[in-house]
Amino acid sequence: MLGTGLKEAPTVKVTWQMTKFIKKLCARFMKPSALQGRQVHDILYKDPLNQLPGENLNVGFTTRATLNRLLEAGDITPQEVQLFQQAALAFLVRAVEYGINKLPLKEALLRHTRFVDVQQRTECGVEDALYFIDRFQELLPFHGPEEQDKVCKQFLEYQLMDIPMPQDPTTFNVEEFWGSMSSIKCKVTGLSQFGRLTKIAQLVLVLPHSNADAERVFSMVGLNKTKTRNSLALDGTLSSIMTVKMADKTTVPTQSPATAKISL
C-alpha cells in the first residue's frame, strides 16, 4: 500500500523469508533428516530416498480426511488414492523447483547478508562481511590490509560470542542486537569493540529490497501537491509536510485533549 507510512522489512529478513518458504515447502514431502543443516541449493528434493511415502505427505488435514472418507465409502479405490499421492508429490517437487529457479536466492548480495543473522554466524565466513566493503567502498572505508585485519578480528570475536536466544528464535530482534553491538566497548582501549563490523551490519540492514519506499514518496507527494495546492515549494512547505507525514509516529509522545496542559 502506498502512502500509508508502512515500513518495509530489511533485505536480510526478506532473504530469510524466501529461504524459509522453500524449506517449509520441502518439509511437506521430504524427510526432516534430509533438510537439517542444508542450504536451499544443497537440498536433494528430487531424490526419492529423501521423500516421504505417499501416505505421509502433508496435503492438509481436510484433504486427508476426505480421501479416507471416500476410500472407506468405496467411492474411490486404493489405486486412485495412490495416483493422487503421486500427483501431489509431483506438484510439490515442481513447486520447489519453480521457487528455487525464480527467487533470487543465488544473488551474491543476498547470499552474503546471512552473516547478520546471529543463528547463522558460525556457518559464515569473514568474506561475507568483506564483500560489502568491496561493493560499497564509499560507505565502508575499510579497504587497507590493516583495516580488513581488524574487521576479521571483530568477525571472529562475533562468531565466538555467547549470545542468549529467546525460547522462540523467530522473535529475536536482529536490529536491536546490532544496535547494542555498537555500544560494546573494549575493556582495554575503551573503544568500540565491534565498530567496523557493526557499520557493515547496519548497512546490510538498511539495504532496500524493492522500490516501495520511493513509490510511497511519489504517492504521498501526489496526495499533497494537488491542482489546488500547486504552489507548494519542494524545498519549503512541501518538504516540511513530507517530513512530518513520513515520520515514525510511534516515537512521538502524544497527549489526549483531556489531559493536555496549557501553559501561558
Q: Name residue 23's amino acid.
A: K
Q: In degrees, to the nearest 5, what angle opens at C-alpha 241 toward C-alphas 240 and 243?
A: 65
Q: What is the phi/psi pair of residue 14, to 5°?
A: -65, -40
CA 194, CA 161: separation in Å to the nearest integer? 12
Strand, coil or helix: what is 188? coil
Q: What is the pTM of this model?
A: 0.62
Cβ atoms of 44 and 34 closer than 8 Å? yes
Q: Tens digit of pLDDT for each residue in 144-197?
A: 999 999 999 999 999 999 998 888 887 888 889 999 998 999 888 888 899 999
> In the numeric block, which cell numbers belong to residue 243?
517530513
Q: What is the phi/psi pair of residue 249, to 5°?
A: -65, -20
Q: Tens digit of pLDDT for each residue in 196-239?
A: 999 999 999 888 766 676 777 788 888 888 888 878 877 778 88
